[in-house]
Amino acid sequence: MTSASSSASSYSSSKPWIYDVFLSFRGEDTRKNFTDHLYFALKDAGINTFRDDNELRRGEDISTELLQAIQKSRISVIVFSRNYANSRWCLEELVKIMECRRSCRQLVFPIFYDVDPSDVRKQTGSFAEAFARHDERFVLQTDKGKVATWRMALTEAANLSGWDLRNVADGHEAKFIKKIVGEILRELSSTYLFVAFYPVGINPRVQQLNFLLNAGSSEVCIVGIYGMGGIGKTTIAKAMYNELFHSFDGKCFLANVREISQQPNGHVKLQEQLLFEILKKDKIKIGNVDRGMNMIKERLHSRKVLVILDDVDKLDQLQAIAGSRDWFGSGSRIIVTTRDKHVLTVLGADQVYMAREMNDIEALELFSWHAFRTNHPVEDYKVLSEQIVDYCGRLPLALEVIGSFLFGRSIVEWKSALEKLRRIPDDQIQKKLQISFDGLNDDTQKDIFLDISCFFVGMDKEYVLPILNGCDFFADIGFSVLTQRCLVSVNEKNKLIMHDLLRDMGREIVRVQSPNNPGRRSRLWIREEVADILRRNMGTEAIQGMAINLLKVNEMKVDVNVFCNLQNLRLLQLNHVKLGGGCEYLLRKLTWLCWHGFPLSFIPDGLYGENLVAIDMRHSNLRQVKNSKFLLKLKFLNLSHSHYLSRTPDFSGLPHLEKLKLKDCRSLVEVHHSIGYLERLVLVNFKDCKQLMRLPDSFWKSKSIEILYLSGCSTFDELPEELGDLESLTILHADDTAIRQVPSTIVRLKNLQDLSLCGCKGSTSATLPSRLMSWLLPRKSPNPTNLLPPSFHGLDRLTSLSLRDCNLSDDSLPRDLGRLPSLTNLELDRNSFQSLPAGLSNLLRLTSLRLDDNTRLQTIPALPRNLDILRASNCTSLERLPDISVASRLRLLYIANCSKLIEAPGLDKSRSITHIDMEGCNDISNTLKNSMHMGSFSGLVLPGNEIPALFNYKNEGASILFKLPEFDGRNLNGMNVCIVCSSHLEKEETKQIRIKLTNYTKGFTKKFRAVAINLVKSCEDHLWQGHISNNFFKLGSEDEVELIVDSLNTMTVKKTGVYLIYEQDEARLKAKRGLDSDDRAGSSCDNLLQAKRMRFETCQQNIEENMDMA
C-alpha cells in the first residue's frame, strides 16, 4: 500500500481507527486486578479496547501485532505500576505509543497505579532500580541509545495529563475506574465527518492545504480549493475539517451551497444553518439576507471559527455567508470549494489550492479498492485496470463509479465495458459517469435514479421510497442497487444525497431525450421551462414528472386544461402556482402531489389519483377536503399552515395513512372520528391548532400511533383516561395547552420516551358558558397544580420529562419521580414547589437537571452521580446545595442570582466541573470563594469588587505588565486570570472578553479565544475568572509579558489579576480536595446557622470589605 493511503486512514470516517483504546500495562503487577477491572469496564461501556492477553511474552522484540494495534488505536492508556520499567517489552510499547502521539495525533493518558508520577518522570524509586539493571545489561553504544529513548518516553508520558490513583476517588479503585471510563467516553464523542471509504492520497493533499492555512496566525484566513467537478474538493475539505475542528470555538461545514442558494430563500437558509451549527441554538430565524449578514457579524465577530463553504459558484453566496473578514474572530479559518477560480479571485482569498488529478499510483490503488476490494489489481486484470485508469483521467469520482460498476464482473465484461468507455470523449465527465447508469439491471432502477436526480435529492429516504414504490418501481431493492453502485447514498439525517456530477448526469440523460422540445421529455425541473410549458399548454404524454417552486411574489396562474395531455404524470410539484377553473381531468398515475400555497378551497376530483402516496399542500387555502375518493395508497398527508381548514377529511378512504401533519391549522375545530381506525398511522401533528379542543374518542383507541404533537393547542384541555390505551406511543408533546390533569393511566404507556407538558397550568380566563359547563360537569382536578398523576411508576422507558412553567407545588410532584430508570433529561423550571422528591439521586442515567426560576425552592435533594449539567439560577429562596462532589461527572453548574445561597458543600472537591456561574450569590463564604479561585475552572463568575489576595499580580484597569519568576525546576501549568467587571448592556445581550498576551522576551503576541460572560445584574461589579493552559501561551522562566483584557465594548474591566499555577501546586490542591468532609471545620448545620446570623448582623457592603482581598 502506498504511503498516501496508509497514512490517510484517519480521514476515512468518523471513527477511522480499529480500536478505541490500547492498554499498556505490566502484566505481573496489574493483569489480574486493576487492569482486568479497567478492561471490562471499558468493554461494558461499549469502548473497543485492545489488551494483549499473552501471559508469557517470548523473544526480545515487540510483536508486529502489538505495533499495529497501537497504531490503529484512537487512545492509548498506560498503566504505570512499580515494575513497569522492568519490562523491555513495556518500554518498547511506550516508545511506539509516544511516536503515534506525535505523528498520528493519538491521545495518550497515563495512569499512575501505586507509583509516584515523579518516579516515572525522573526515573527514581523503583524505576531507578529497573534502569540500573538496564544500564548493566546494555553496555554497547547503540543499546545505550535505546535506554535513553526509553527514559525520554517515560518523561514525556509522565508529563501528560492523566490520573493518579492516590489523588482520585480517595484511592477507591472502582470509582477511579469509573472516572477514567467517563473521561475516555467524552474524548471519543467528538464529531467527525465521514470522508471516504478508501481515503487514498488524501493525506499529502491535506498537508499541503494545512501549510496554506497558516495555523499559527491570529489573522482571519480565507483559503480556496478549486478544480473540476469530481476532482475531490469536497473530500479534501471534509478531511481538513476533521483535522482542524478541535482547535476552534465553533465550526460549520456548509454543504451544497450552490444548490441550496437556488431554493426560495436559499441564502437565508444557509445563514440560519451557519449560525445554528456554530452557536448550537435552536429556532434561529432570519427575516432576510441583509439581516442575516448583520447577525453573522454580530454573533461571530469575537469567535474563532472554522467555516467550510462547499460548492460555491457565485459571489453573492459568499457575500451572504462570509462577506468580510471582520465578521469572524481572530484566528478564524474560512475554506471555500468551487469550480470557478474567478470566485476566489473576486473574494480576495489569501491562498488558493488547485485540486489536481491523482497520480498514477494513487489512481490505480483507488480504482482497485472499488473494483477488487483490495489495494492492487488481480493479476489477470492488471493490464485492463491500467487501461481503464488511464481512460478515467485519474479523476477520483470516475475511478470510484466505474470501479464499483466493474466489481465482480468477468474479463469479457470488462473488455466490453472498456470498448464502450472509449466511445465517450475523455473530457466529458457526463459520459464517463453514464456508464454506471447504462449498467443498471432494468428500467425501474433507471427510473428510480432519474426521479431522485431530478426531484428528490435532499429529501428523507423514508418519504421518497414509498412514493417510488407507488410507481411500481420496487424501490427497496432498486435503491439498494443504486447505493451499492455509488449512484446515490443517504446521509446521517437519512436524507438522499447525490454528487453534483451524478445528479447532472441523470438530468442530462433526460435533457437529451428531446433537446429542443422540453414538452417531450420525461421529467421537467427547470423553472423557466416548466413555466413556459404550463403557460403555453405544451405538455405531452411523455411527461412523467414536473416540478416548479415559485416564491409567492412570483405566483403564476395556469389553466386546468394543461393537465389533459399529461395522462402519464406521476410526480407533480406546483408550489405557489394558481389554478384557473376546476380540474376535471383525472391524473390516474399521480403518486406525489406537492402544491404549497394550493389556491382553491377544495381539492378537485381530478387530483384524486388512485395511486397517490403523498399529498403535501402546506400553506393552502383549503376550507374542506371532500371524501369522494378512496385513496388506498396514500401514506403521507400534510396540510400544515392551512389557516382556513376547519375540519379534517373523513379518513375512511385512507386506510394506509401513516403520517398526518396538520400543524398550524388555526381554524381546525374538528377531527373526524375515523382517525381512530387508521391501523397504520404512526405520526400525528396538531401543533399550534389553537381552536382544537378535543380529539374524538376513537383516536385514543389507536394501537399504532407512536408520535403525537399537541403543543400550542391553547384550547385543548383534556387528556382522557383512554390515553393509556395508546400502547405504541413514544413521544407526547403537549406544551402550552389548557390540559388540567394528566390521567393516571399514562403509566400504562410502556413505550413512552419523551413527555413534554411545559406551560400546562389549566384555563385561567374561561368564559362564563365554559365555567357553567365546568360546574355542571365537574372535572377530576380543577386545581391547575394537580397536573400530574400521583405516580409515574411504570414509565420505565421515559428518557426526557419537561415540566417547565406548570405551577407545580410540592404535593403536585409524584413522590416516585426518582423511579424512572431511563430518565436522562429533567426540566422543572418556573414552578412553585419548595422542595423536590428525595429519590432524585436514584436517577442513575440523569445527565441534565433544570431548575431555573423556581423562586420558592429552598432545598435540592442529593444529586444523581452521573449528572452532567445542573441549572438552578434565580432560585432566590435556595440556601444550600446538596453535596456537589457526589455528582462526580458534573461539568456545568449554573446557580446565578441565588441570593440566599450560603453553602455549596463538596464544590471545592469537585474535579469534573469546568464552568461555574455564581453571579449574585452574595452570601457564600470567603473560604469557598478562595478555594474556587485556586481551581483551574474554564469559567467562573462570582460576586465581588476586589481581586483576591492569592493572585500574584494585580493592576487597575484592563491590562497588567509583569515578569515571571524563576521556575526553579517547577513546571508552569498555566494561569488563572481574574477581572472585576460590570456592564451596561441588557440581560439578553452577550458580554464577551478576549485575552491578549504579548511576550516581550520572546517577541510574540497571542490572542486567546473569546469568552462569553453572562451577567444577570449587569450594573453590579462581579469577578470573572478563567484558566488558560500554558500550552497556549508557552511562557518560560523570567519572561516579561503584558496581558490585556479586551471587553469588545460589552463591559467595563476595572481591575485585572493573574495567579500562576504550577503542576506541583495543582497536585497539592488535588490532594487537599481529596480530604474527607469530616476534616472541614464545623458541621454543615453550624456553618448554615452562622451564615444566617451574619446576613442579619452585617450588611453586604461590610461583607465585601472584610473579604480576604489584597
* Distance set, CA 632 to CA 296, 595, 629, 647, 655 (Å): 48, 20, 9, 21, 6
CA 804 to chain centre: 24
* Rounded CA separation 84/1070 (Å): 25
Residue 373 burial (10 A CB sphere; 0-12, 13-18, 19+): exposed
Q: Quick check: 1037 and 967 in contact, CB under 8 A?
A: yes
**Closest-CA residue to 1024 (of 975, 978, 960):** 978
Please report the sign of the dihedral spanned by the C-alpha atoms of residue 662, residue 668, residue 672, residue 673: positive
CA 475 to chain centre: 31
Q: Quick check: 943 and 1023 in contact, CB under 8 A?
A: yes
571 bridge partner residues: 545, 592
CB hemisphere CA count around 743 (13 angstroms): 16
> For residue 392, what are the contacts with CB-CB under 8 A and spacing of at least 6?
363, 367, 398, 399, 402, 432
Q: Is 616 helix (H, G, I), strand (E, B) or coil?
A: strand
Segment holding 345, helix H or strand E = helix 341-347
Q: Is 633 helix (H, G, I), strand (E, B) or coil?
A: coil
Q: Is 192 helix (H, G, I), strand (E, B) or coil?
A: coil
Please report the sign of the dihedral spanned by the C-alpha atoms of residue 632, residue 636, residue 642, residue 647: positive
* Rounded CA separation 504/499 (Å): 9
* Rounded CA separation 1028/937 (Å): 9
Q: Quick check: 405 and 485 in contact, CB under 8 A?
A: yes
Residue 536 burial (10 A CB sphere; 0-12, 13-18, 19+): exposed
User: Which contacts of 272-280 are long-range, i.e. CB under 8 A and separated by 24 or more positions?
Assistant: 274/307, 274/321, 275/299, 275/300, 277/250, 277/251, 277/252, 277/253, 278/250, 278/251, 278/252, 278/303, 278/305, 278/307, 279/250
Q: Quick check: 905 and 883 in contact, CB under 8 A?
A: yes
Residue 92 burial (10 A CB sphere; 0-12, 13-18, 19+): buried
93 catalytic per annotation: yes
Give φ, ψ of 775 to 5 degrees: -75, -40
CA 474 to chain centre: 35
Given 92, 93, 658, 827, the catalytic residue: 93
Residue with cell 471545592: 908
Helices 360-372 and 396-406, packing angle to 10 deg:
30
Amino acid at 485: R
Q: Quick check: 958 and 945 in contact, CB under 8 A?
A: no
Beta strand residue intervals within 851-957, DSSP E: 869-871, 892-894, 915-917, 939-943, 953-956
CA torsion 763-767-768-771 (nearest 10°) is -20
Q: Which residues are catalytic?
A: 93
